[in-house]
Amino acid sequence: MDIVLLAEDVFRFACARRVILKAMKPTRNRSAKPGARTAIAIMAAGKGTRLKSKHPKVLHEVGGKPLLAHVVEAALRVVPAHDVLAIIGHEADRVIEAMRGTGIGFVRQEPQRGTGHALMCAAPALSGYDQVIVLSGDAPLITAETVRTLRDFHCHKRAAMTILSAQLDDPTGYGRIIRAGDEVKAIVEEKSCSPAQRKIREINSGFYAFSVKPLFANIEKLKTDNPHAEYYLTDMAAVLRRAKQPVLAMKTGTPSEILGSNTRAELAELDQKMRYQKCLKLMAEGVTIFYPQSCVIDSDVEVAPDTVVQPFVQLLGKTRVGSDCRIRSYSVIRDSVIGNGVVVRQGSILDDARVGNDAVLGPYSHLRPGSEIGERVHVGNFVETKKVRMGKGSKANHLTYLGDAEIGDGVNIGAGTITCNYDGVRKHKTVIEDGVFVGSDSTLVAPIKLGKGSYVGAASCITDDVPPDSLALGRAKQIVKEDWVKNKRRTQK
Ligand code: UD1
Ligand code: CA
């Protein structure tokens, strides 16, 4: 399916009845052959009115990633990227941008006239397939295993439509499955349910498998005679049954996977579930996480065994933490790579940083993008680094700003040292070679180079390069006026 970014008017045209009928000749063949060509279509065009947001619903995040990214990930574990199609509409360009790099195809649904209409718009793109699995872009807990089971059930039973259903204690809000024995007569949306139907606890998950030919031979029969005046994909159950096509429901054994996110409260619930699952997975892999309910760990984060994560830690984005590390409370680490045996003390913030083995950070260190902290380096209290390389065993333990700097091995940076890297227009580099000792409260005005083994006296303002093995002092000479205070007191009397 290497379509599918067509111009707006082409899409409208594609949605028209004539095109659909031409693309799908009606057929009497009811079977879905095993080994048939399978596409996965993800419905992701909705506005998400109930979220009361100006952003597209499927880009709202849970587990640190857009809803749609989770669904795409599950889909990609079942079929190759060129067989995955996202049906997009509201803020489509932003959705495409967010999914860039996944290799999936897109179809636009403009305007959004319901889930049935979404599939109408995808008809031309699906014409080469035997069956299509339809997923909801707002239900991110779905797993590849469940999608495969649904596909295999559908093939095996030779159904025209198989609905993934779930038996829920509280079915409120979901479409209900109306059965006639093994087959399904209809799906009735909550708003249209009779009081008796409302009591049915088998619900429609919003995931389906369709045989492509009967789907598109009959999809034109959908009507908009419902409270939202939309084309409901759910109505295909009744439509196909009237066309004497077999409609089945496969009850999932894992109802928690079908959870959707129509409201902010549901988003929060999903996020919590997903992160707790992530903690359980890491713990099963050998990571100690104390008080996992308090930790925020994104789905793609990796942590090696024997690392200890204390309460209220956030590990975000593409962060990778090695083994035998200790990440103490209130640290927030994003898109960073941390070696083995690293200690990150309380309240440290790492953003796009690299940290070598056995380094010690914090408490309250701030490593900004481009910080490359070498092995056994210490970066301590209230030290901020940005675009800095620090060589093995170097130390900056207190109250320091190091920006745009190249720091060698075994360097000691005294408390309160500042690299003055910015002249108001441009950034300049500070080079500190191996074994340099910078005394406390020094300001290093870049561009500047401190040669190998040199010393900078405390409280110096250094504006010129310092040759190797020399001492640089850049401070006012001290004056002592003996008895000055005593005399002052006397004159004040
Ligand atoms: C849908 C089902 C309901 C089921 C529930 C499960 C219908 C009519 N109802 O309801 O039976 O129990 O899912 O969660 O399908 N979308 C489009 N284009 C549109 C409208 C929606 O792509 O024109 C997308 C949305 O972005 C969303 C998905 O389809 O990802 C489902 O739509 P949503 O409005 O959330 O349906 P529900 O009300 O949850
Ligand atoms: Ca939904």
DSSP calls for 337-400: EE-SS-EE-TT-EEES-EE-TT-EE-SS-EE-TTEEE-TT-EEEEEEEEEEEEE-TT-EEEEEE
Contacts of 71 (CB under 8 A, 6+ apart): 42, 44, 58, 135, 136, 137, 139, 140, 142
Ligand nearest to the CA of 267: 2
Q: Which atom of ligand 1 is nearest to the CA of 189?
A: 11
Ligand 1 atom 19: residue of nearest CA: 114
Distance 39 CA to ligand 1 centre (A): 19
Q: Which atom of ligand 1 is nearest to the CA of 138?
A: 30
- 8 A C-beta contact, residue 135 and residue 117: no
Adjacent-strand bridge partners of 367:
350, 385
- List the structure tokens of 333: 């680490």
Adjacent-strand bridge partners of 396:
379, 413
pTM of the model as a whole: 0.88
Q: Which residues line ligand 1 (CB under 6 A)?
A: 43-46, 57-58, 87, 109, 112-115, 117-118, 136-139, 174-175, 187, 189, 203-206, 232-234, 260, 262
Q: Is 378 a catalytic residue?
A: no
Q: Which atom of ligand 1 is nearest to the CA of 258?
A: 14
Residues with pLDDT less than 70, the chain: 1-35
Contacts of 22 (CB under 8 A, 6+ apart): none
The CA R_g of the chain, rounded to the nearest whole Å, is 31
pLDDT at 35: 63
Ligand nearest to the CA of 222: 1
Distance 437 CA to ligand 1 centre (A): 64
Residue 4's φ and ψ, nearest 5 degrees, are -155, 25
The whole-angstrom separation of Cα 315 and Cα 348 is 12
Q: Which atom of ligand 1 is nearest to the CA of 173?
A: 12
**Tens of pLDDT, residues 58-101:** 999 999 999 999 999 999 999 999 999 999 999 999 999 999 99
**Tens of pLDDT, residues 433-484:** 999 999 999 999 999 999 999 999 999 999 999 999 999 999 999 999 999 9
Ligand 1 atom 29: residue of nearest CA: 43
- 8 A C-beta contact, residue 301 and residue 317: yes
Ligand 1 atom 34: residue of nearest CA: 46
Residue 16's φ and ψ, nearest 5 degrees, are -70, 145
Distance 138 CA to ligand 2 centre (A): 6
Q: How far apart are the first and last CA of the chain?
A: 96
Ligand 1 atom 21: residue of nearest CA: 46
The whole-angstrom separation of Cα 35 and Cα 30 is 15
Distance 233 CA to ligand 1 centre (A): 9
